[in-house]
Structure 1
């Protein structure tokens, strides 16, 4: 057994145990009230955006891994419009360009779900596309024009996949190219480089993939779907460098990368002056006041501010990308692993999984301006200029799920850290 097989962060339920599901008094009461209301209403019709105008307003989608619900937030008021049971959940949905691309109910939200990826109609959240990848750990991102989806499937598949994401195409949802990377091998006993996460340059030509078990940063040419550059990433804390998550800045000049190295993790800032040849500028550690356990990040609209989610210290580490230093840390009071921008790219929505709430970070002020109660164990998030419609018949199912009762099959999703209930790679 390799050291990665024993890593509780990478394999949170390796012992087969399912995390305990706690139902708070607030949830039990809310679920009971909702169930009664749904039964009284007769469970007919639909709501949440019936008119054309209402259906094309901004929304933030938060996927609650504890009860397979989605909470839809209005970013203009920071209030929850509805929380509905989906029967699936997502930890790392596509959210780099999705908020700006998705402005019609006919557009698609792309999620990592079960053992592959799923495309849901933005206006209905009904399944449109389902693709198995050969792995239960998947990351995905759309190109800036929305026509292509690039997927990283970690172990045991160790491969990259390209999908047609253009709904007007005859091959919409089909795999258009694959790249098997197992021949590269991996550190220790790993049988491949472990492509983990994917982020895409705003020019749409290149995708960047941190290789968790390869100690490399791989640059893909998306059209040719081949590796054009592979940079060796050196460790700074002994052992392996373990790059695993990354985001390209909106101006395309900077790449911010998380590393699962050492006891507390590290963060690197890369120069993308030549997009095909990333060059590491600086590596931040806890000695630089980086929070512990850096997992993912989002970059502000100014391309100068990085928000690194550091669940090991229950905060968001704010990084000055120009100076290459930690600016401050925002206390969340709980663990958050990911976040998403609203479609206007003004506010950052951060699901705090351990608190069943979403923290809102206002970029202009640099402060947490709201905390919004949502469903159980929120993890993944994305946004769109669309308000989905839900059948009111789903209300009673949602209410029961909120109380911990489910009579529908629900899918798990791979999470790093604190979830992955029953999930397998």
Structure 2
């Protein structure tokens, strides 16, 4: 019984697949395609242990296609080319039955490695299925991303995880030989962090540690058996999200000490430097914004620097940026403004651009009044004229409300002097 429990009970059919009903349920966006065997190249994006690899295997089995697997951790361009050559020889010219190439952790592939996939995907020699825990918009090159559909897998909820446990107990021959009672599951579910594979591994560890074939699962038993095996920081589990949340909230709360502590937790856990820097880049705009616009410049420089340098020196740059952001004045006014504007667009639809603001590219457009009566701000005192720049239906609507800090108070005065009572500055 060397094979882990999670592998032994891995579902082989859609009927056995648990969760992700939005993708593979009776009305799932992938269900019909899988049954018909018409599979596009796709990226499966979701947290660890949510069934990305399992779903790829099922897609290959259901569509009766050859299935090649590469892991981005230990595969290079040479490995990719070898698989593509095999795929071409196995009848890749027939689009409906071309082989599937599954790449686990595709976000770890370099640009050149991803580039090497483009021709095979575009010509239909392979159908690519990539699995990633990171946002593909950041980690997959645009040329490859444009050739793939992105499907999001959700973290397992409590009922999904409990169903996984019960399925394992009923399906696995070794567990069938035991007398297992699931009296309490809270500790198992919490320690798993929503990761189905981790849940089954912990469950197997607990059962293995009991001498008797009769095992009553309680929270205390699980904690006693697993405590010595828990890690300070699991960058693929629940703590990955909890600790970065604490980090960002410490920056937002202007506490540099807490920010550096949570940063240290992530660094010691081996967290990806780009993940940390990316979160600070977002915080610089969402939580600091126009209260200190330089914060975004500092955060962007940090992202570029740590992407080049890496650990261990990157920790110094990350620390400098975290402290700078935590000690900056705060404003979420830009974040709130775009949210209000997007909501208004959803409510009002595609309102017409006022004629003076339109660009008269042709004589017909000029005859129709495009650009007529436009007042060029630089022709007026202080480079300002009180014209209308919103659609008529939204005239006077305020989206940006300056925050209460030194810089935005100055912006408020500046805007009030120009717009008087038109906007609520």
Where on the TM-score scale, by shorter chain, does this alignment land: which range? Answer: under 0.3
With normalisation by structure 2, the TM-score equals: 0.23
Greater relative CO, 1 or 2 (CA 8 Å, sep 6+): 1
Name the structure with the higher helix share. 2
With normalisation by structure 1, the TM-score equals: 0.23
Q: Which has the larger radius of gyration?
A: 2
